[in-house]
Structure 1
Amino acid sequence: MEPLMGMAVSAVGTVVSSALSGAGGEAGRRISERLYDLLGRNRAGDGTDEPGRPSLPVTEPERTAAAARLLELARSSPESAREVTEWVREASRLAPRTVPAVAPGASRPRMLPPTTTLFTDRADVLAWITGLLEEGRTPGAPTIAVLTGPGGMGKTAAAVHCATELRERFPDGALFADLGGASAATALPSSDVLARFLERLGVPPAMVPGDEARQRDLYLDCMSERRMIVVLDNARDDTQVIPLLPASPECLVLVTSRHRPARLVGRHGARPFPLGPLSTEDSVRLIRRVAGSDRPPAPDAVVQAVAEGTGGIPLAVCTTGAGLAVREHLTWERVARQLSDRIHGRDQGGAVMEEQNPDAPDDPVRLVQNVSYGELAPDCAAFYRAIAVWPWPTVTVLCAAHAAGVGEDEARALLERLARVHLLEEVDQERYRFHDLTRAHARELAAAEDGHGRMAAAIRRVAVAQLRFAAGRDFRVMPLRWRLGPAYQGLALPEGRDRADGRHALVDLRDERENLAAVVRAAAHHGFDDLVWQLCEALWSLHLMLGFHAQWIDTHLLGVEAARRSAAEFGDRRAEGRMWTQLAFGYMGAEQVDKAADALRQAREADRACGHHRGEATAVEALGLLRLKQWEFVAAQRCFEEAQEILCRIGPGEDGRADVPRATALLEHHIGRARTRQGHFADAVARLNDALAQFRRLPGGDPYNAGRVYMSLGDAHLGASDAELARVCLDEAVKTMTEAGAGLQLADALEARAECHRRSGRRAEEAEDLRAAAACYEENGGRLGLERVRARLAELEA
């Protein structure tokens, strides 16, 4: 394949993916529609959506054919060659990518958790890994070291310690992920980890591809020629790890797992290292360090007895030492006696105890946990049990307070107490995490002492609290959208609201994303259907703006089923259609077009069955938006007009009536866009002006959407080859977006106006608008747009 053909195929693939997922924003849409125009030149009717018009090239053969058509067009005339070359250059700027590792200002993630000064022994592990690095490198393959061993053996601490000691060899940074492989239920999908890694490598979340295969391709590209450490902790199996391997021979991958990953060793050259217990000497040294030097001295034989009681397992050693460190009344002798009694199945009075775990009565970790638990005050013991009722990715103060039914100040203090005795670890500010063995211990105690009814009640309290949190943030991000569910009742925007408030609320949702997904699963598991679908509703703005499509689809599939069951039990019958529609957008983002269309069909049927006209209109509108993305502009227009007809059925006082004027204006705007793409520019302008008038008539107006209409008017006039009239409309778009405080949309309007200046030969004005757009992107975190505009400026000023 000739180089230009390869570039064209890549550009077509980038633009089509961006068009379907919406990741490229308005710039991506314009570039997609420009491709439509180029491919449609001088074509005979071919039976597609419109006679003589192309179809969106979705499959690889279609993309190759489209690239060949572009090259054919480029050879037809110098002017066409210039247009195709410009299009390929613009399209390449949509491709999600990071700054090369060697460039100034490159992203150098530092994701390693903090190490500890108490780390003991394991010098042999560091020496072994160092030896691997000094062996000959295999081209295209990283060095892979796998630390294996039972839970609690200190694999994570050893991996983090070694990575920290070796970090100067890997100046481009370190990636870290806890893969949650203690069970199939908690194991993270590779797609989730790839999305997180790509974001830390500099890829904007909205530009992360929706499917794992393309995430993997982008990850390989981002890691190319980098010298990095990748720590993959607590892997369940090979399938989690293999997609996360970089191809750079300059990288080191450290994997920890309770199982030896056969494919990783057999096919990818990984080297395993089984981690065993600490020696008695090292156990004594570690437990003395953890306990501290402030305690009264104890005979060496007693300290050795305590150390031997822990079995040399680091988790047990640290838990025992932490208890001694914070409890002044607890003596070495008492701990030695408690461990001995539990080892031999006796209580402190000498009576034989019933074994809590007959399958592993001499498990040192469980023995130590039982001793530590026995030393907790009753309120702290109850708190310990309550926060372990579900494997939350992290335990926050909000989660803990509602799980235990206490105030946040009390929860904060109790979390700190548990962390001091090593039953929790603090992983971020006011975020804690259980070792999975400790959580299992706490959950077993909760089942035995509290019962499943109280455990389910704790989960429901957490779910309600997280719903309040998510709904409040979602409302601040997108206050004008229509929504379902009582969680939104009574919400209002704060007076004197800062322009950045919505952006800050979105950051809050992103930071809590994994816990919110976990609470959806927990609520679904316990049959809290009313909370499941409302939580999905509250995640709308997070997913619409930031993607995370695998999670989006996973949670909303649960939402659909929950809404269906809830409706059968006198719940809100409107919820099922709402969940199907939102799920469809998740499928669109993941480029699963057929599934998206089917979900919208299901949404329409569900809304029609319950007479919910507002929901049915939204489902039909969403199908029209999908058709727009697919270049099926006539079909899209029909959908929008049908949605308008459905809205007309909503009578005074009926559900959704208040939203009809705004919804109708949005649909009129969509119709104007569809007419523009069909080449009916005069009718498109009339439709768009009508939409503009409707937005202006809304109470308080809608400056943001008015600005978007002005941008569409600019597109229509440019389509009609009237760059001057387009500029006038874009002047209004810039003014309106400035007044609305919509920073990223203002940047896009400035970019569009710069294109008008380019077509009219006003280089100075073009450069001025591009510089202003760059400032907006930089201020509002639009990294991809910033790179694209800077590239255009560099070409202009060359």
Structure 2
Amino acid sequence: MGMALSAVGTVVSGALSGAGGEAGRRTSERLYDLLSRGRRAGADAEANSGPGEGGSRHPTLPVTEDAQTAAARQLLELARSSPEFAREVTEWVREASWLSPRTVPAVAHAASRPQMLPPATPVFTDRAEVLAWLRGLLDEEGRTPGAPAIAVLTGPGGIGKTAAVVRCAFELMDRFPDGVLFADLAGASDGTALRPSDVLARFLERLGVPAAMVPGDEARQRDLYLDCTAGRRMIVVLDNARGDAQVIPLLPASPECLVLVTSRYRQGLLVSRHGARPHALGPLSTEDAVTLIRRVAGSGRPAAPDAVVQAVAQGTGGIPLALCTTGAGLAVREHLTWERVARQLSDRSHGHDLGGALMGEPAPDASADPVRAVQDVSYGQLAPDCAAFYRAIAVWPWPTVTVLCAAQAAGVSEDEARALLERLARVHLLEEVGEERYRFHDLTRAHAHGLAEAEDGHGRMAAAVRRVAVAHLRFAAGLDFRVMPLRWRLGPAYQALTVPEHRDPEDGKRALADLRAERENLAAVIRAAAHHGFDDLVWQLCEAMWGLHLLLGFHAQWIDTHLLGVEAARRGAEEFGDPRAVGRMWTQLAFAHMGAGQVTEAADALTQARAADRACGHHRGEATAVEALGLLRLRQWEFGAAQRCFEEAQEILRRIGPGEDGAEDVPRATALLAHHIGRAQTKRGDFAAAIARLNDALARFRRLPGGGDAYNAGRVYMSLGDAHLDAGDAEQARVCLDEAVKAMTEAGAGLQLADAVEARARCHRRSDRPAEETEDLRTAAVSYEEHGNHIGLARVRARLAELAA
């Protein structure tokens, strides 16, 4: 019962979210078939069953816990009814188990042992008491059984919390052989703080879960994360936490783990409910402060009296961020003397304005804010072009500052931006965190942002954000077009884009990887554009992230950004924007809700989409919304309702005349709908009509301009294989799957080719041809391995082992 219930839950979840792709869809529909046959058998056994009960023979997707329990019981009853059913149910449970994201035990050869820890600073000084405290915590007798050790390092910004936990994690790594997870939770403000769902998705992938198998909702992500961390000895570093709600979902399951949390705020629930131990980090002693600043400044400078160096160190308040910034300035400016820096800090601490920062306002007390004092001194030493650049790149809290972002924000060339970024990094006003990728400490960004407000004003800051948004829209649209070149779009950014005649089959994969690398920055650009009221750019940026989200998920971010997209499109439509964008945003948001398993929200969004498109006469958009509702109904096993949606979408497309909006896309859209209708008819048991409709779809795809659509023709052949197999004709199914294999080979669709070959292997199994089945499974295994689909590979290898036994 437990195995059957788990299998039902896995398949239902995947059916709603689309996880598992074609294999997940096929397994869901097989469950429908099994439950339908069980109901028919039960109805036949009841001689007194009235005609009014016929509708009960068609099961609905068991979404609730009670419905899933009932479905699992029906499977067991079906298995007991005959040896044939027992074999089919057993095979289905095994097949379903492969759809569940699989955790790799830490002791396994293929186990993922992530090493996400950023590099430790080479000038790290002291903090020996922190390491000693952590060692004592780990070795303490009477620790809470069954729970990881949790240490919370608190202190003000710039005090060195991150450097301390990174250094301690390196020192303790030999005790935790299963790896280190690290996340900057960006908790300086509510607006920048990461959601646990985004961090969980990142952690799960580093723990070996394929991106396509990461669940869409946080609760299931959390469950999988607990499975992945159970039994492991790991360090989990959660840096810059805003509050308990960010941290608690990220706690691992294993009592052999160490969790290191840094925060400016007390984490009450972590301490009271999860046994966390707090430790407050204070400033460095004068002796250690002198050691640190000498290390940063380097040995190449003329010697300075100890008293002068001590004065500089004391002027920084012993705060490591201030010490490193001051030392870096001394290191790169050979004419800057220790005495001058000491004098500047002294002047700053006594309220003497250095001409740099506050538009004639009295300077704050440096003893109360030594970091600000040091930043003002460093800023005053920048050349005018570098000072303007420093202000410009801080107009919004970008997760990272890239060359593209910096160049557009400052209105300079990319070569100039590279040089200026390096100059700021050398004086410790920026940190380089990757190749041509930089990050502010949040206190430094706040300083630069305040200067931008005072010296540049809202108008220039808004103009900088708009330039960044336009550039990122151009960047994202170009990549999204390469990921999915055939879908229709509204945004003007796509108008000049074309598909190369001889396109590398791997080009789309590379484009998707580039989009993924900028995912967090793109989301930040959407938020910045929304904040400044650039509605035309907000919805277009959302549209440009369609391929990224559809293929890779990240549903929490998808929903957040597209809610902004909906509102932006609405405001634009009320003025002089494109009214078609409203329906487009609602439809994309609906797919985000589907991916997160939020069926009601998805259906509501599609209702809004259809109403918006109908109101502005956008037939292409309305047809898409109705088609999407049909796809949702397919996932819910409401095959009759799905077919009606697809047929209605076809009727809407017929309203589009030659030369009208969307006319060019009508032939392909009509072919897709014919394919959908054939799939719905197959599941309704109307095999003759389904096969006729699928052959019509096939002919339509072959007639498309440019030599036809080989990829979608291959998908139709696969659906024809399913239809013939459901109708009991395994031989004709094999013939169709032969054609699917040819089409996917022609299209260069490696994973879909593997799926087609694996489907053909099932036909061989039905026809009792083990040699042919083995050959196809080996071919599928090679393709799955080449494309990194570890779940498909494991599933195929398991079947090969059965055949060899």
TM-score range, shorter chain: over 0.9
Deviation at 1:497, TM superposition (A): 2.2
Aligned to 1:256: 262
SS at match of 2:340: helix
Deviation at 1:210, TM superposition (A): 1.1
- Is 2:334 the partner of 1:338? no
Q: Of 586, 590, 596, which residue of structure 2 is paired with 1:584?
A: 590
Listed one character per residue, the Cα deviations across residues 227-254 of structure 1 (whole Å, up to 9, x for unaligned) are 1100000001000000000120110000
1:205 and 1:548 in contact (8 A); partners too:
no
Aligned to 1:97: 102
Aligned to 1:574: 580
- Inter-partner Cα distance in structure 2 for 1:341 and 1:734: 77
Listed one character per residue, the Cα deviations across residues 70-101 of structure 1 (whole Å, up to 9, x for unaligned) are 11111111111111111111000000123211
- Inter-partner Cα distance in structure 1 for 2:354 and 2:658: 75
Write the mapping of 1:629-644 to structure 2, written as runs, cut at 5 A.
Answer: 629-644=635-650
Q: Of 19, 25, 31, which residue of structure 1 is paired with 2:27?
A: 31
Identity %: 82
Deviation at 1:772, TM superposition (A): 1.2
SS at match of 1:152: coil
2:353 and 2:362 in contact (8 A); partners too:
no
Listed one character per residue, the Cα deviations across residues 510-529 of structure 1 (whole Å, up to 9, x for unaligned) are 11100111111111111100
Aligned to 2:273: 267
Greater mean deviation of Cα atoms: 131-140 or 72-81: 131-140
SS at match of 2:693: helix
Deviation at 1:781, TM superposition (A): 2.3
- Inter-partner Cα distance in structure 2 for 1:307 and 1:91: 64
Paired letter, 1:665? A
SS at match of 1:784: helix
- Inter-partner Cα distance in structure 2 for 1:721 and 1:285: 80
- Is 2:530 the partner of 1:519? no
Listed one character per residue, the Cα deviations across residues 257-316 of structure 1 (whole Å, up to 9, x for unaligned) are 001101000110000110000000000000000000000000110000000000000000
Write the mapping of 1:173-184 to structure 2, written as runs, cut at 5 A.
Answer: 173-184=179-190
Listed one character per residue, the Cα deviations across residues 501-541 of structure 1 (whole Å, up to 9, x for unaligned) are 00000000111100111111111111100000000100000
Q: Of 578, 594, 604, which residue of structure 2 is paired with 1:598?
A: 604
State TM-score, norm by structure 2: 0.97
- Inter-partner Cα distance in structure 1 for 2:499 and 2:414: 24
- Is 2:550 the partner of 1:544? yes
- Is 2:75 the partner of 1:70? yes
Deviation at 1:661, TM superposition (A): 0.5
- Is 2:110 the partner of 1:114? no
Deviation at 1:786, TM superposition (A): 1.9
- Inter-partner Cα distance in structure 2 for 1:393 and 1:316: 22
Greater mean deviation of Cα atoms: 50-59 or 598-607: 50-59
SS at match of 2:37: coil
SS at match of 2:415: helix
Paired letter, 1:291? A
Aligned to 2:435: 429
- Is 2:408 the partner of 1:402? yes
Mark the CA change 1:631 to 1:353 in structure 2 (over 3 Å): closer, same or farther: closer
SS at match of 1:542: helix
Listed one character per residue, the Cα deviations across residues 580-626 of structure 1 (whole Å, up to 9, x for unaligned) are 00100000000000110010000000000000000000000000000
Paired letter, 2:457? G
SS at match of 1:709: helix
Listed one character per residue, the Cα deviations across residues 325-384 of structure 1 (whole Å, up to 9, x for unaligned) are 0011110000000000000112579xx995566487731100000000001111111010
2:212 and 2:553 in contact (8 A); partners too:
yes
2:349 and 2:365 in contact (8 A); partners too:
no
- Is 2:744 the partner of 1:737? yes
1:94 and 1:788 in contact (8 A); partners too:
no
Mark the CA change 1:356 to 1:500 in structure 2 (over 3 Å): closer, same or farther: farther
Listed one character per residue, the Cα deviations across residues 629-674 of structure 1 (whole Å, up to 9, x for unaligned) are 0000000000000000000000111100011011000000000000
Q: Which runs of 5+ in 1 are unaligned?
A: none
Deviation at 1:193, TM superposition (A): 0.6
SS at match of 2:81: coil
Mark the CA change 1:575 to 1:50 in structure 2 (over 3 Å): closer, same or farther: farther
Deviation at 1:794, TM superposition (A): 2.3
SS at match of 1:9: helix
SS at match of 2:253: coil
Mark the CA change 1:256 to 1:563 in structure 2 (over 3 Å): closer, same or farther: same
Paired letter, 2:298? G
Aligned to 1:450: 456
1:14 and 1:91 in contact (8 A); partners too:
yes
SS at match of 1:256: strand
- Inter-partner Cα distance in structure 1 for 2:576 and 2:299: 64
Q: Of 478, 485, 496, which residue of structure 1 is paired with 2:484?
A: 478
Mark the CA change 1:306 to 1:591 in structure 2 (over 3 Å): closer, same or farther: same
1:355 and 1:361 in contact (8 A); partners too:
no
Deviation at 1:139, TM superposition (A): 3.0
Mark the CA change 1:106 to 1:19 in structure 2 (over 3 Å): closer, same or farther: same
- Inter-partner Cα distance in structure 2 for 1:474 and 1:790: 34
Q: Which runs of 5+ in 2 are unaligned?
A: 44-49
- Inter-partner Cα distance in structure 1 for 2:459 and 2:85: 71
Write the mapping of 1:280-299 to structure 2, written as runs, cut at 5 A.
Answer: 280-299=286-305
- Inter-partner Cα distance in structure 2 for 1:37 and 1:348: 78
SS at match of 1:426: strand
- Inter-partner Cα distance in structure 2 for 1:391 and 1:8: 48
- Inter-partner Cα distance in structure 2 for 1:48 and 1:375: 84
- Inter-partner Cα distance in structure 2 for 1:77 and 1:17: 29
2:562 and 2:588 in contact (8 A); partners too:
yes
- Inter-partner Cα distance in structure 2 for 1:342 and 1:360: 6
Q: Of 748, 754, 757, which residue of structure 2 is paired with 1:747?
A: 754
Mark the CA change 1:770 to 1:48 in structure 2 (over 3 Å): closer, same or farther: farther
Deviation at 1:570, TM superposition (A): 1.0
Aligned to 2:727: 720
Listed one character per residue, the Cα deviations across residues 169-227 of structure 1 (whole Å, up to 9, x for unaligned) are 11111000000111111111111111110111111122111111111000000001011
Mark the CA change 1:348 to 1:756 in structure 2 (over 3 Å): closer, same or farther: closer
Aligned to 2:789: 782
2:682 and 2:690 in contact (8 A); partners too:
yes
Listed one character per residue, the Cα deviations across residues 113-162 of structure 1 (whole Å, up to 9, x for unaligned) are 00022000001100110111112343321000010000000000000000
- Inter-partner Cα distance in structure 2 for 1:520 and 1:37: 44
- Inter-partner Cα distance in structure 1 for 2:361 and 2:229: 51
- Is 2:165 the partner of 1:159? yes
1:233 and 1:257 in contact (8 A); partners too:
yes
Greater mean deviation of Cα atoms: 40-49 or 85-94: 40-49
Aligned to 1:82: 87
Deviation at 1:784, TM superposition (A): 2.3
SS at match of 2:236: strand
- Inter-partner Cα distance in structure 1 for 2:297 and 2:562: 48
- Inter-partner Cα distance in structure 1 for 2:363 and 2:515: 40
Q: Of 149, 154, 178, which residue of structure 1 is paired with 2:155?
A: 149
Paired letter, 1:65? A
Mark the CA change 1:466 to 1:48 in structure 2 (over 3 Å): closer, same or farther: farther
1:49 and 1:632 in contact (8 A); partners too:
no
Q: Of 649, 652, 666, which residue of structure 2 is paired with 1:646?
A: 652
2:366 and 2:373 in contact (8 A); partners too:
no
Q: How many residues align?
A: 792
State TM-score, norm by structure 1: 0.98
Deviation at 1:773, TM superposition (A): 1.1
- Inter-partner Cα distance in structure 2 for 1:214 and 1:48: 36
Deviation at 1:770, TM superposition (A): 1.3
Paired letter, 2:726? G
Q: Of 475, 483, 496, which residue of structure 2 is paired with 1:469?
A: 475
Deviation at 1:47, TM superposition (A): 8.1
SS at match of 1:255: strand
- Is 2:777 the partner of 1:766? no
- Inter-partner Cα distance in structure 2 for 1:612 and 1:304: 72
- Is 2:673 the partner of 1:703? no
SS at match of 1:70: helix
Paired letter, 2:98? R
Aligned to 1:381: 387
